[in-house]
Structure 1
Amino acid sequence: MEKEWLYKLSSYDYPLPKELIAQEALPQRDKARLLILNRHTGKIVHSEFRHIVNYLGSNDVLVINDTKVIPARLFGKKETGGKVEVLLLDFNPLEGEKKVVITGALLKASRPPRLGQVIYFEDGLKAEVLDYKEGKAKLCFYAKRSFRETLFNIGHMPLPPYIKREDKPEDRRDYQTVYATKEGAIAAPTAGLHFTPKILTALRQKGVEIVRVTLHVGYGTFIPVKVDDIRKHKMHGEYYELKEETAQQLNKAFEAGKKIVAVGTTTTRLLEYLMTRYGKIQPGCGICDLFIFPGYQFKIVQAMITNFHLPKSTLVMLVSAFAGRERILNAYLEAIKKRYRFYSYGDVMFIF
């Protein structure tokens, strides 16, 4: 008989003391604590992320997500003076464009905006409401100079809802991987936050291949699962890009029996999505909407670097599919006991 409890949302809950939710980044990225979990035996070893170099070698291919978080949160006012908070959900302006239509934006205001209403921001930026439904808006932005330049000047970093403070200038550096290049994410691929140029150089010197993919992490990563039977959950889609030479490199490495090590759940989902859909790593761009939960058979990812995730989230379900629910929850409880820091600015796991 199938283990029905594996599909119950409550099976992915765990008690987390609020004070363990990291509110600030560490002064040094690689000083995060590292919990190493052998998914085959359940053995746990405690270390620091700067020692990750000792656990990877010349037979490993490290796959990183080079998406870059944009300052997607804007604070504006209606003509009446009422405050409006806007979170951009998509971002594709051409360089130098002054007029840009954003099809997806979350709006927070005391009253829903009217169609045609104008919202005013700093730096001469304004936006007309073209459509509005259930908190989501379509906006046409007008900037005095380029929209991208204005956004990067006045926008705020979209810190996750569980970081209970305003963003600071340092978050533009801290809530970004050192290898972020492709603008478009509204949440950081947080497992990558721990890497430093020094660690990446040391890994290359050891013969570790480092391969870049792009998946723009969207707000859906924070949307809670609302169904008791997780099989009924509809996964959000996120835009991805993968180059021809990257696909060739990954397929060749996989066929040669090299170990594919994914940095983060975003990278894991993208690689597994491509293997599930095409039977190989297929170059191109599209929308990745694969929901990985226990019962899923992994096709390419053999090890994973990942932060500690929210109770009852799709991310906890993904790592449970990878290492087994009991092993993951046991590791989480061990981390709580040892006072690890949790979530985006928190500590990290290496699961192999």
Structure 2
Amino acid sequence: MQLSEFDFNLPEELIALRPAAPRDSARLLVSKPNYPIEDAVVSALPHYLRAGDVLIFNDTRTLAASLKATRAQRSRVGGPVSVDINLHQRLDGSTWKAFVRPAKRVGLGDVLTIHDSLQAHVVGLGDAGEVTMAFSKAGAELDRAIAQFGSMPLPPYIARKRAVDAQDAQDYQTVYARADGSVATPTAGLHFTPSLLEALDHAGVERHWVTLHVGAGTFLPVKVDNIHDHVMHAETYEVSAQTAAAVARAKAEGRRVIAVGTTSLRTLESIVDPDGEITYGGGDTSIFITPGYRFKVVDGLITNFHLPKSTLLMLVGALIGMEALRDVYRHAIDQRYRFYSYGDASLLWKAPTS
């Protein structure tokens, strides 16, 4: 398929710069095959689900993964260079892959100083501004330093319009975040409040958890005309035996499994072995879901509205079909839904053939 099939024009004013308050007052678009699109609010979600449905949440916790650093002067000519660092994949206790800007001003062997007490040594260079860096601290000590000197890694379409502030430390984190490791938030989960989770429990909806540490690579733009030439970055996941058993039981009993966010969906579709068995444990996944993909686990998806030409938009098109995708996004724009990470939500049911 061609990248141009996933393009659309979005009015700039529909990009949300702050989340709805309270979180579950955000709008909810509901799309079900062979039914008209419905407009609702997230707090009404229990009305659209039924007892026995299984919701799968990603309980990853977002790190303050945006860092500012200085590259020392290399020679008598020129001076120090300011560098923006966006961490995206932890390799071990002291080593991360990251994207840096300006990429052309950073080279192998450079030392980037984040603070007098924290430096990063560039030990590898990749494509598109990606570097591998070894920090001067490791383990929990490094995590504390990142939390102290970093800021929330808001997406560029927000950061270009306003500065990151203290409110984002709360707003850009789900209420159930537990496992430190993400450098971008699974934003569909931002709509959930303790009262909404309680209402889902009362409605007989099961809740289970997976962990996928979201990397910035998920959101990198697709730069190839044929989408199948795009290469996804790997992300680390963990699925408990309890969650795997709950999903397998639901599928065996004909109950619906709904992923809260594309990260939960990608995790669920990554834990099916060649024999169709639901597995548990940890690993890395670079699964790239595009139209034509046959879903093995997921029946529905709760997700925000995604950027044009993004891999996340392709995933949605695979789930609901390209015609439904165009209808949903046309309706969302016409009805002035708020888009992207801090925007409104949708509940999308899988097309019968997906």
Under a length normalisation based on structure 2, what TM-score does the superposition of the two structures give? 0.90
Paired residue for 2:194, among 183, 193, 197? 197
Within 2, Cα distance between the matches of 1:277 and 1:239? 20
Q: Corresponding residue for 1:157? A: 152
Kept after mapping to 2: 8 A contact 1:93/1:147: no
Q: Give the stretch that moved more between structures: 80-89 or 109-118.
A: 109-118
1:132/1:235 Cα in 2 relative to 1: closer, same or farther (>3 Å)?
Answer: closer
Deviation at 1:318, TM superposition (A): 1.2
Query: In 2, distance between residues paired with 1:276 and 1:338?
Result: 41
What is the CA RMSD across the aligned residues, in angstroms?
1.9
Give the conservation status (yes or no) of the 8 Å contact 1:82–1:109.
no
- Note if contact 1:93-1:148 (Cα within 8 Å) is conserved in structure 2: no
Structure 1 position 10 matched with structure 2 position 4: yes
1:62 aligns with 2:55: yes
Runs of 4 or more, structure 1, over 6 Å off, are none
Correspondent of 2:344 among 336, 343, 347? 347
* Residue type of the alignment partner of 2:155: P
How far has the Cα of 1:306 moved from its partner? 0.8
Give 2:87's aligned amino acid: L
Q: 2-side partners of 1:230 and 1:128: how far apart? A: 35
Is contact 2:89-2:235 (8 Å) kept? Answer: no
Given the alignment of the two structures, is residue 32 of structure 1 paired with residue 26 of structure 2, yes or no? yes
> How does 1:324-339 map onto structure 2 within 5 Å?
324-339=321-336
Q: Deviations over 1:280-316 (max 9, x none)?
A: 2211111112211111121221111111111121111
Summarize the Cα distance change of 1:75–1:202 in structure 2 as closer, same or farther, 3 Å threshold: same
Retained in 2: the 8 A contact 1:308–1:348?
yes
Q: Which residue pairs with 2:86 in the alignment?
A: 87
Show the 5 A alignment for 1:185-334: 185-275=182-272, 277=274, 279-334=276-331
Aligned partner (choices 110, 125, 134) of residue 132 of structure 1: 125
Task: Give the direction of change, closer, same or farther, for the CA distance of 1:130–1:236 in structure 2 (3 Å limit).
Answer: closer
Q: Distance in 1 between the 2:126 and 2:347 partners? A: 41
Q: Percent identity?
A: 43
Deviation per residue, 1:23-67 (Å, 9 max, x gap): 1222321111111111x2141110111111211221200011111
Displacement after TM superposition at 1:114 (Å): 4.2
SS of equivalent to 1:312: coil
The whole-number CA distance in structure 2 between the counterparts of 1:248 and 1:44 is 33
Alpha-carbon separation, structure 1, partners of 2:82 and 2:274: 45
Residues 129-156 of structure 1: CA deviation (Å, up to 9, x unaligned) = 2233442222221249911111111111
State the alpha-carbon separation in 2 of the partners of residues 264 and 229 from structure 1.
25
168-177 vs 84-93, which moves further: 84-93
8 Å CA contact 1:294, 1:324 repeated in 2: yes
Q: Is the 8 A contact 2:218 2:232 kept in 1?
A: no
Deviates more, 1:157-166 or 1:334-343: 157-166
| Alpha-carbon distance in structure 1 between the residues aligned to 2:104 and 2:316 | 40
Letter in 2 for 1:150: A
SS in structure 1 at match of 2:290:
coil
Residue 20 in 1 paired to residue 20 in 2? no
**How far apart are 1:202 and its partner, in Å?**
1.1
Unaligned runs of 5+ in 1: 1-6, 95-99
Aligned to 2:170: 173
Q: Give secondary structure in 2 for the equivalent of 1:11.
A: helix
Match of 2:68 in 1: 75
3-state secondary structure, aligned to 1:89: strand
Q: Please report the TM-score for the alignment, with normalisation by the length of structure 1.
A: 0.91
Tell me the distance in 2 between the aligned counterparts of 1:111 and 1:294.
36
SS at match of 1:170: helix
2:121/2:134 contact within 8 Å kept: yes
- Tell whether the 8 Å contact from 2:66 to 2:87 is kept in structure 1 after alignment: yes
